Amino acid sequence: MDKAKLTDTVERILQVSGFKTARIELRGGCFDLVASRLFLMLFIKVSPNIDVVTEEQAEDLKRLSSFFKASPLIVGVRTKTGELEEGVVYERFGIHALRPETLYEVLAEGELPAVFAERGGLYVRINGKLLKELREKSGYSVGELAKLVGISRKSVLNYERGETAVSLDVALRLEDVFNEPLAEPIDILTAKVRATLRSEPETPLEREVIERLRNLGMGVVKVKRAPFNALSREDEKTILAGIDRKKTKSTVRKAEMVSEIGRIISSDGIFILERTKTEVVDDIPLIPKDKLKEVRDADELIELIETLKREIKNRMRIRPEEH
């Protein structure tokens, strides 16, 4: 399955599961789909071979997810060594990765996977407290259960304390002994990821603009592999900020993507260019960097964005009447 078809499949899964979606087509981007449903937000990287996802893309994906309190996911069908298995959770640079079928089971059917892949095979984490209760209720000593299942006493004690993962075959043998499920589900939708929010600007213009935004009192996070260059926040208001030297076809397309993303995640957007006339592209203001110098604080920047958006909407209402 090529990337376009896989992305189509993932987007359909999201939509039939009640998500609003925006699709992003950016070469080398850290995500391809953003989706929201009630209080749940997902940033998804689609890659037929999950090993192709780079560490830089993964770090940006984690920054985005941390900033928006969203969940990052990678959806694919294979690694460099073979096919991904349905119902199994994999990992790439600390981000959960899975097949589209597994995603469907989670989102549409509410069935969380329990099996995860690590070097050496498939594993689960089991409910150690329940295992101990079942063992004692059944009258088995630690040694007796170990002998029955074919593992060491130390392994049984570690499992009961929740200290180690359990290979899938051992977990199945334990469940057979007690005729009760022991594996803990993996909630891939509320996974916490570790993200380094600090990333250095790549150009003098980025450095100048980001410093100015920070001087306005805004929290700013730099990203590299997205249609925007920085994430800014003032209280609960978030802004996706694009930074470029001049207006080009690429700038316009990125502004259009930022507009789509903003509608899904309820964020404003702005593009700050070295030189440009002030205008609006699909709800996203484009302003010269010198205009940013006139802004005194974060509230004034937010008001500037809203004013420019209102002005363009008013112009669009007036034009049909002129004809």
Average pLDDT over residues 20-35: 96
For residue 172, being part of any structural domain is answered with yes
Which of 98, 104, 105 is closest to 77 using CA atoms?
A: 98
On whether residue 187 sits in a domain, the answer given is no
- Classify residue 107: in a domain, yes or no: yes
Residues 57 and 89 in one domain: yes
Residue where a domain stops, chosen among 59, 93, 112: 112
Residues 228 and 266 in one domain: yes
Mean pLDDT value across residues 55-82: 94
In the prediction, which pLDDT does 9 show? Answer: 98
Please report whether residue 191 resides in a domain: no
Answer yes or no: do 90 and 28 share one domain: yes
* C-alpha triplet 100, 103, 104: angle, nearest 5°: 90
Last residue of a domain, one of 161, 178, 195: 178
Residues 234 and 147 in one domain: no
- Residue whose entry in the numeric block shows the structure tokens 């007036």: 318
The verdict on 271 and 297 lying in the same domain is: yes
Rounded-to-integer distance, Cα 270 and Cα 229, Å: 10
Full domain range(s) for residue 135: 122-178
Cβ atoms of 31 and 226 closer than 8 Å: yes
Cα→Cα distances 312→141, 203, 280, 319, 322, Å: 76, 31, 7, 11, 15
The candidate with the shortest Cα–Cα distance to 95, out of 133, 122, 125, 60, is: 60
Q: Is residue 99 part of a domain?
A: yes
| Single residue among 178, 193, 219 that ends a domain in this structure | 178
- Backbone Cα Rg of the chain: 25
Q: Does residue 100 fall inside a structural domain?
A: yes
Same domain as 265, residue 245 = yes
pLDDT of residue 38: 86
Residue-level pLDDT at 315: 64
- pLDDT tens digit string along 151-182? 999 999 999 998 889 999 999 999 999 999 99
Is the predicted pLDDT of residue 321 greater than 80, yes or no? no
Give the separation between CA 3 and CA 8, rounded to whole angstroms. Answer: 8
pLDDT given for residue 317 in this prediction: 59
Between vectors from CA 28 to CA 22 and to CA 29, what angle results, nearest 5°? Answer: 30
59 and 87 assigned to the same domain = yes
Q: Note whether 239 and 212 are within 8 A (CB).
A: no
Confidence of residue 196 (pLDDT cuts 50, 70, 90): confident
Q: How many CA atoms lie within 13 A of 315 on its CB side?
A: 9
The count of structural domains within the chain is 3
The rounded mean pLDDT for the chain is 91
Query: Is 145 part of any domain?
Result: yes
* Residues paired with residue 121 on neighbouring β-strands, in sequence order: 118
pLDDT greater than 50 at residue 323 = no
Query: pLDDT > 90: what percent of the chain?
Result: 75
CATH number for the domain that contains residue 245: 3.40.91.50
Helix and strand element counts for the chain (H, E) = 11, 15
Residues 317 and 209 in one domain: yes
Question: Residue 19 in 3-state DSSP?
Answer: coil
Q: Are residues 275 and 226 in the same domain?
A: yes
Write out pLDDT tens, residues 209-265: 999 999 988 889 999 999 999 998 877 789 999 999 999 999 999 999 999 999 999
Report the alpha-carbon distance of residue 171 to residue 128 in Å, rounded. Answer: 11
| Residue 195 domain-assigned (yes or no) | no
For position 151, what pLDDT does the model report? Answer: 95
Strands in 95-98's sheet, in edge-to-edge order, are 20-23, 33-37, 40-46, 71-75, 95-98, 88-92, 115-118, 121-124, 166-167
Judge if 165 and 256 occupy the same domain.
no
Same domain, 278 and 249: yes
CATH of the domain at 13: 3.40.1350.10
- Indicate whether 150 and 170 sit together in one domain: yes
Task: Tell me the pLDDT tens digit for each residue of 257-301.
Answer: 999 999 999 999 999 999 888 888 888 999 999 988 888 888 888
